[in-house]
Amino acid sequence: MSRRVWTAAAAAVFFLPRIASAQSEVERAVLPLPETERAGATVMAIEGSEYVTVREGSGTFVCLADDPGTERFHASCYHESLEPYMARGRELRAGGIEGRESVMKRAEEIEAGSLDMPEMGLLHQLFAQAGWDGDVSTATRLTVIYVPYKTEADVGVPTSRSAGPWMMFPGQPVAHIMIPG
């Protein structure tokens, strides 16, 4: 076998599984979106300790692929107008600031004028248990609509968790409506 054929064969054996894996990762990352939005979404995935773009999109959504270092599946896709807010969240998480503390830190930065927040923004999420087979019907969906500074009275949804929509952080720069299902 010539050196050239051997090199091509070795590349196929070692790199094709990685390419197939990346395709699967991209396909799963866009699952939270309506089908009409999936093909155009930009997809970012974790490499090492940071997110990198694995597919440039032509649409208006950015999707974050599942973190392979966690048991539970989670993919999220947000409107590109939320990128400054979401990127800051990734920075804070990398620095050890997560959850409510991260949200409140970003709220302070929005108030101070050092972090941009759109007038409205949309986020789609998909959650599933460990060992999930990719069947969307067995996963949990959550849609979030960011409505900065809006209150319960402004939008007509309760501020306590319910089976339907509810609002978190009413009146704050990070106010958002949670819509399960």
**Residue 143 pLDDT:** 97
Q: Which of 22, 12, 58 is nearest to 38 (CA)?
A: 58
Helix (H) or strand (E) holding 53: strand 50-55
The predicted model scores a pTM of: 0.83
Q: What are phi and psi of 69, to 5 degrees?
A: -85, 0
Instruction: Using the structure block, give the residue that is written with the tokens 């990127």.
Output: 87
pLDDT at 49: 82
Of the candidates 115, 147, 134, which has an alpha carbon nearest to the alpha carbon of residue 23?
134
**Under 8 Å CB-to-CB from 19, ≥6 apart: which residues?**
none
Buried/exposed code over 53-65 (b: 16+ C-beta within 10 A; e: otherwise): ebbebebebbbbb
Q: What is the pLDDT along the chain (181 residues), one digit of tens a residue?
A: 444 333 333 333 333 343 444 448 999 999 999 999 999 999 999 998 889 999 999 999 999 999 988 999 999 999 999 999 999 999 999 999 999 999 999 999 999 999 999 999 999 999 999 888 888 889 999 999 999 999 999 999 999 998 899 999 999 999 999 999 8
Are 62 and 44 spatial neighbours (Cβ–Cβ below 8 Å)? yes
Question: 82 Cβ partners below 8 Å, 6+ apart?
Answer: 62, 118, 121, 122, 123, 146
Nearest Cα to Cα of residue 173 among 83, 71, 103, 77 = 103
The confidence score (pLDDT) of residue 152 equals 96
> End-to-end CA distance of the chain, in Å?
57
pLDDT score for 8: 37
